[in-house]
Amino acid sequence: MGTKFHSGIKAIHEAEKPISKAWELSLDHLELDDKVKKLMEILSDHENLFINYNYYHNHIHFAEVIWASAFLAKKENFEDKYFESMVILLISATFHDAGHPGRANRAPFETEKISAEFFRNWWKNNSLFVENILPMNPSQIEQAVNELILFTDFTQGQAKVITDYFIRRDNENYGLKMAKLKKILIEADVLMNCLPQSSFHKTGLILKESVRNIADDKKWLLILEFLKENAPHLFTSDACKELKIDALVRKFTNYLENNREKMAMGSNLQEDINARFKTF
């Protein structure tokens, strides 16, 4: 399974249209009805709308999150609303950072509101073309996607309440397991930032967006700080447990904690990490 995930990421990076490739891979992986291809074709025609030149929050990131969402969702149980849930999830992943200004939020939900508005404007002009795909009316789809996009506001401390939130309830919206969908989307959104092979590169891109030029040792310390703060509350879904992503991230966190001295000396840890850690 891990090989398939990373092969998909490689295919996305090599594709002329990364978002279209992510949808293609996801529809095949999730074994969705061919009628969803109409939606994929529309998004493919409009892919230029998603292109921006942010270092991190760009169309490549959107495509990675689409594929990661599909990959994780395959391991979850959505019962009789599987088809509707997967389409809502893929749409939400596609638009979750659309129109992102390439900087951190200056107020709660600032960039997420931009993305939600981006989706609503697109949906207003295209919902009629896909109304026969889902047994939900356009306003229901808009509400569900909007709710998922806003939930990706990863403010400080949000991860601490995620676990309790999902243990308490899995609220439903038009029969959809919304809490489960939110969990998958937030895990997919940060997954590449927490994997041993990609976290250093992704952290560097995020720092470039914030116009911060810091030494490599500080980047490793930032990764460790993020993992210690958030990892215990993330990757707790059934999918992450089955794929052992939770165990991999814990092992990575412990490795960084045990190599603080090497970080401080400016050692390049990536080569050792690549040799020590197998992907999930």
For residue 105, pLDDT over 80 is answered with yes
Give mean pLDDT, residues 201-212: 86
Predicted confidence (pLDDT) per residue in 138-149, tens digit: 898 999 999 999
Predicted confidence (pLDDT) per residue in 42-82, tens digit: 999 999 999 989 999 999 999 999 999 999 999 988 877 89
Tokens 């970080």, residue located: 263
Predicted confidence (pLDDT) per residue in 209-223, tens digit: 876 678 888 899 999
Average per-residue pLDDT for the chain = 88
For residue 166, pLDDT over 60 is answered with no
The answer for residues whose C-beta is within 8 angstroms of residue 32's C-beta and 6 or more apart is: 83, 86, 87
CATH no. for residue 264? 1.10.1300.10
Residue 35 sits in which domain range? 2-276
- What is the per-residue pLDDT for 178? 86
Give mean pLDDT, residues 110-126: 94
- What is the per-residue pLDDT for 77? 83
Q: Is 75 exposed, middle or buried (0-12, 13-18, 19+ CB in 10 A)?
A: middle
For residue 129, pLDDT over 90 is answered with no
- What is the per-residue pLDDT for 156? 45
For residue 199, pLDDT over 60 is answered with yes
- What is the per-residue pLDDT for 171? 57
- What is the per-residue pLDDT for 164? 52
Pairwise CA distance, residues 132 & 117, whole Å: 23
For residue 34, pLDDT over 50 is answered with yes
- What is the per-residue pLDDT for 169? 52
Pairwise CA distance, residues 54 & 60, whole Å: 10
- What is the per-residue pLDDT for 161? 47
| pTM metric for this prediction | 0.92
Pairwise CA distance, residues 177 & 172, whole Å: 5
- Whether the CB-CB separation of 193 and 203 falls below 8 Å is answered with yes
Pairwise CA distance, residues 217 & 187, whole Å: 26
- What is the per-residue pLDDT for 2? 67
Q: What is the dihedral of CA 188, 194, 195, 197, to 10 degrees?
A: 120
| CA-based radius of gyration for the chain | 18
Letter string b/e over residues 218-251, b meaning 16 or more CB atoms within 10 A of that residue's CB: ebbbbbbebbeebbbbbbbbebbeebebbebbee
**CA separation, residue 64 to residues 8, 11, 60, 193, 195 (Å):** 9, 10, 6, 11, 13
Give mean pLDDT, residues 152-168: 55
- What is the per-residue pLDDT for 157? 43
- What is the per-residue pLDDT for 223? 94
Backbone φ/ψ region at 235: left (φ over 0), alpha (ψ -120 to 50), beta: left
What percentage of the chain carries pLDDT values higher than 90?
59
- Whether the CB-CB separation of 81 and 176 falls below 8 Å is answered with yes
Instruction: List the Cα angle 108/152/181 in 5-degree steps.
Output: 145
Give mean pLDDT, residues 179-187: 90
- What is the per-residue pLDDT for 142? 93
- Whether the CB-CB separation of 36 and 133 falls below 8 Å is answered with yes
Confidence of residue 173 (pLDDT cuts 50, 70, 90): low
Which helix (DSSP H) or strand (DSSP E) does residue 177 occupy? strand 176-177
Predicted confidence (pLDDT) per residue in 222-255, tens digit: 999 999 988 888 898 888 999 999 999 999 999 9
Amino acid residing at 174 = Y
When divided into structural domains, the chain yields a total of 1
Amino acid residing at 184 = I
Confidence of residue 122 (pLDDT cuts 50, 70, 90): very high
Pairwise CA distance, residues 267 & 59, whole Å: 32
Pairwise CA distance, residues 176 & 95, whole Å: 19
